[in-house]
């Protein structure tokens, strides 16, 4: 793979908190426009990895490069969707989606066209002027996802964003995130405990071990979209990954 196709390069990343070794010499790449899922047991260091990417914390050793330069939220456009919906309660759906674009001082025409596109893709027209307290949790999470994609991020980080949702809403939002990913060409790193979700979403799944986390395996998912969870090939890939996590 030519280096111009690589968006994120993780080189020998190690993180200790005091004596506690959490990430143990992790190396992998994420390609431009790729949708990668990371699965790993509770407490193995997934959120720690995202916190390193956004420079909330510094590595003990090793490095993370975005477009060949050290990851830096002041230089790179990194968006984050957390497990708990985190729309700004004092802003409407539309204002939440505009928020980052205004901070980036985009022109009003650019903001309008981008916000209209995202609202259209998310089917949020009727909720443009609604506040988070007037929405269901899943609706609020859609607004947060819209806010994240609106920035055309270099990298979109999603940390178990659908953990709290029922299965129907989860399927719906999974399709939505795929639609937005295709429409924007963003590179997405999505963390989940749910293997079916990982196979449904990802082009590649990275499987982490127990703490101290290493990458135990990776699995390419070269299934056409839309995917079906009951398709034979889908079931086979999910089973392969299930076999790989038996050491958890």
- Using the contact rule CB under 6 A, the part of the chain among 46-54, 96-104, 215-223, 229-237 near ligand ATP is 46-54
The correct pick among 3, 12, 43, 110 for binding ligand ATP (CB under 6 A) is 43
Nearest approach, Cβ of residue 164 and Mg ion (Å): 14
Instruction: Report the side by side order of strands in the sheet with 35-39.
Output: 78-81, 155-159, 187-191, 35-39, 204-208, 215-220
Structure tokens that stand for 143 in this block: 């607004």
**Of 22 and 30, which CB lies nearer to Mg ion in the complex structure?**
22
The correct pick among 47, 51, 54, 86 for binding Mg ion (CB under 5 A) is 47
Residue 17 interacts with ligand ATP (CB under 6 A): yes or no = yes
How many CB atoms lie under 10 A from the CB of residue 119? 20
Terminal Cα distance for the chain, rounded: 31
Residue 47 interacts with ligand ATP (CB under 6 A): yes or no = yes
Residue 45 interacts with ligand ATP (CB under 6 A): yes or no = yes
The correct pick among 48, 141, 184, 186 for binding ligand ATP (CB under 6 A) is 48
How many chain residues are in contact with Mg ion, going by CB under 5 A? Answer: 2
Residue 58 interacts with ligand ATP (CB under 6 A): yes or no = no
Nearest approach, Cβ of residue 193 and ligand ATP (Å): 7
What does 44 interact with, of Mg ion, ligand ATP, none (CB < 5 to 8 A by kind)? ligand ATP
Residue 22 interacts with ligand ATP (CB under 6 A): yes or no = yes
Residue 194 interacts with ligand ATP (CB under 6 A): yes or no = no
Give the interface with ligand ATP as residue ranges (CB under 6 A): 17, 20, 22, 40, 42-48, 211
């Amino acid at each position: 793979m030519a280096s111009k196709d690589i968006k994120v390069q993780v080189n020998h990343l190690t993180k200790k908190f005091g004596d506690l070794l959490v990430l143990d010499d992790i190396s992998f790449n994420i390609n431009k426009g790729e949708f990668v899922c990371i699965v790993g047991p509770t407490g193995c260091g997934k959120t720690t990895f995202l916190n390193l990417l956004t420079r909330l914390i510094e590595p003990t050793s090793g490095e993370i490069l975005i477009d060949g330069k050290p990851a830096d939220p002041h230089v790179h456009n990194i968006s984050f969707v957390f497990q708990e919906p985190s729309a700004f309660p004092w802003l409407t759906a539309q204002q939440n989606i505009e928020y980052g674009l205004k901070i980036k001082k985009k022109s009003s025409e650019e903001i309008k066209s981008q916000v209209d596109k995202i609202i259209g893709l998310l089917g949020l027209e009727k909720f443009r002027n609604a506040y988070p307290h007037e929405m269901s949790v899943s609706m609020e999470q859609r607004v947060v996802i819209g806010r994240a994609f609106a920035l055309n991020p270099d990298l979109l980080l999603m940390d178990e964003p659908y953990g709290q949702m029922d299965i129907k809403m989860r399927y719906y939002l999974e399709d939505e995130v795929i639609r937005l990913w295709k429409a924007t060409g963003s590179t997405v790193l999505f963390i989940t405990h749910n293997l079916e979700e990982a196979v449904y979403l990802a082009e590649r799944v990275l499987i982490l071990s127990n703490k101290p986390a290493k990458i135990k395996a990776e699995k390419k998912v070269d299934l056409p979209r839309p995917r079906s969870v009951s398709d034979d090939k889908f079931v086979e890939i999910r089973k392969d990954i299930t076999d790989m996590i038996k050491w958890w």
